[in-house]
Amino acid sequence: DAGVIQSPRHEVTEMGQEVTLRCKPISGHNSLFWYRQTMMRGLELLIYFNNNVPIDDSGMPEDRFSAKMPNASFSTLKIQPSEPRDSAVYFCASRPEMGGNQPQHFGDGTRLSIL
Amino acid sequence: AQSVSQHNHHVILSEAASLELGCNYSYGGTVNLFWYVQYPGQHLQLLLKYFSGDPLVKGIKGFEAEFIKSKFSFNLRKPSVQWSDTAEYFCAVSPYGNNRLAFGKGNQVVVIP
């Protein structure tokens, strides 16, 4: 089992640039989650999908953030334009079913630094 | 919305000492409870979980947690820590049947050899 795969592991870019984070969930998992982790706010759920459909995006901070899941094996989180306050570690997680008693499995995260 | 409180954000202790991390949540209904561990530079890994049944659950690496419904608590314990237990520990709560997982702020645990 390959686990949840995220890329890139690290991203450093200048403010105003577009940033795209990628996630490949575990095969067979049909729920996917994007989290942001900062020292100040801890782990925050940004958005989650079930069967490729966004279910709850209430955690997305503002319109600069968008997420897509074009198919069951791939999702992106995009920030455009990026700002220094977006610097954080972004985690993707997946689980086998929605609402069931299964834990979420996390990827290694993308450490994003906006200069 | 449910919230999760973890106290004593930074914990420093010596090897062989006992560890207890508190977790309290605010939600009146049935919940699923989790503890995750994040080793330095790594992703979150599931330590243990409670869904139903015996309120004392045992996880990996000698950790256990006790669900006390009347206190809305799910405290994590380990009788004797090792240096390799240095990590950040997160408590998480999900209302039964709900996909959303609410995390606490985490406990940064440092074990001194």
pLDDT digits 0-9 by tens, A84-94: 999 999 999 99
Query: Residue B2 pLDDT more than 70?
Result: no
Q: Does residue A65 register a pLDDT over 90?
A: yes
Residues 63-82 of A with CB under 8 A from B: none
- Find residues 85-104 of chain A whose CB sits inside 8 Å of chain B: 91, 93, 95, 98-99, 101, 103-104
Angle at A86 between CA B89 and CA A83, to 5 degrees: 165
Is A106 in contact with B98 (Cβ distance < 8 A)?
Answer: no
| pLDDT over 90 at A58, yes or no | no
pLDDT at B1 over 80: no
